[in-house]
Structure formats: structure tokens, C-alpha cells
Amino acid sequence: MNNLPLEFIKRLNAITAKRPATIIKHILANGYITSEEIKEIYGYNHPPRAIRDVREQGIPIVTYRVKDNSGRSIVAYKFGDPSLMDNQISKVHGRTAFAKALKEALIEKYGAKCFIYQQTLDATLLQIDHRVPYEIGGEASQDIEAYMLLSPSANRAKSWSCEHCDNWIKKDVNFCSGCFWSHPESYNHIAGNKERRIVITFTGNEIEDYNKLIKQVGVVNAEQYIKDVIKSSLKI
């Protein structure tokens, strides 16, 4: 990538934080990096978060798709227009303070629970996430309604679903706003599919109920059994 402006190269080399520096080094050497390479080579299981780290350093990154060795379409990332480089360094400390206040405000309003799984968790385990992915809608406002709290597993599940959605390339913010992963409390599709979802988590003494259910109907049939029970109970 010898055609990059010298100032851009200097800015890239000045970034020393491990995760964004790792991504930058790979793109400099290869021209791009795929989501699979981020996970398989470098062990970062949440590629969008790793890419966000680079963007938060003011480096423009373009998301697109390439074919892997099997011909499957996967997400890839490369540097964007160097003229769009943003000096974010002065914003870092402000962002950290905002994140702390935002998390406290979300917990005060909704409780210390995952918006997707509706599990109450230790506040230290909850992660702040944009309702509409940063890669789609850009930086959100400071309105707390633009954010959600997620457990680590829910965050990974959301990232995977979003990254494999057609809208990851189209970037229609309104489409995202109507998705389960953005507004699980009120949505009309799940990653473009006409689906509805209820996440049921068994905790504490309820685990014994789960064990009885699985023993009686098996793991494969458990979902359909629950649907049948609901359908039967709702009959008038």
C-alpha cells in the first residue's frame, strides 16, 4: 500500500494499542483483512469490535465482501479515503467518561440486565452496544435510547447476525431499527427474516424444570414442545 499519503502512514504507525495496531498492520501488509482472519489468525472473536477500535482512532475503514477459498461471501475491511481521517485522540478520555455515565443511566432506567436475554447480571459483565450497529449508523447521539446493554454472549450473537445480514452492505438505518437485534422489545423482523423470538433462560431452581423437560422430550424437540404448550394454553 505504497500509494497512501505520508501523513496517513505516520498516523497509522502512531497507533500502539494492541488490537487496532494489529488490524492496521495486517491491512498495510495485505491490503485488507477479513472477519475470518481477525478471528482465526489473531483470536479476536468479535471482528466488528476490533474494527471499531481502529475507527475510534480516527482511521477510515470500508466494509465490503470478498469470496473465501470455498466461494463463500465473507466480510472484509480495508482503509477508506485517507482525507476522511479524523483526529479522535482528544475525544478518547471524553468517550470513556461518557461510556461510564451512559452505562449507569441505562442500568438506572432498565436495571442491570441484558436487553436480548433479559437476564439480570452483575453490572461489570454488561456491555454497552449501539442499537443500530456503528458500522451501519455511525456514531450515535448521546441519547441513552440509542444504546442497549448486552451480555457478552448476546453481543457476540448480535455481531454475527448483523455481519451476515444483507443490510451490513446496504446500510439502511431504518431497516436496522425494525430488527430484533436493535429493538427486541418491538420489532418486525430478525436480520430480514419474518421471525419472532422469545429467549427463555432457566436459572436457580428452574434448572430442575429444564432437566425434566429435556428428559421427557429431548433437546431437539424441546422448542416445538414449548410452542405446542403455548398454543394449547392460548386456545379459547
Cell numbers placing 112 = 442491570
**What strand order describes the sheet that includes 61-67?**
33-34, 73-79, 61-67
- Cell 505516520, located at residue: 10
- For residue 78, give the 3-state DSSP assignment: strand
Look at residue 131 in the predicted model and tell me its pLDDT: 93
Q: Determine the distance from the C-alpha atom of residue 109 to the mean position of all C-alpha atoms in its chain, rounded to a whole number.
A: 22
Return the DSSP state at 120: B
pLDDT, averaged in runs of 10, over the chain (236 residues): 83 89 95 94 90 86 88 91 66 56 92 94 91 83 87 90 91 95 96 93 92 95 94 82
Domains and CATH numbers, the chain: 6-84 (1.10.10.10), 93-171 (3.40.1800)
Cell numbers placing 62 = 470500508
* pTM, two decimal places: 0.64
Q: Where are the beta strands (DSSP E) in the chain?
A: 33-34, 61-67, 73-79, 127-130, 147-150
Distance of CA 125 to CAs 100, 101, 115, 159, Å?
13, 16, 13, 17
First to last CA, the chain: 68
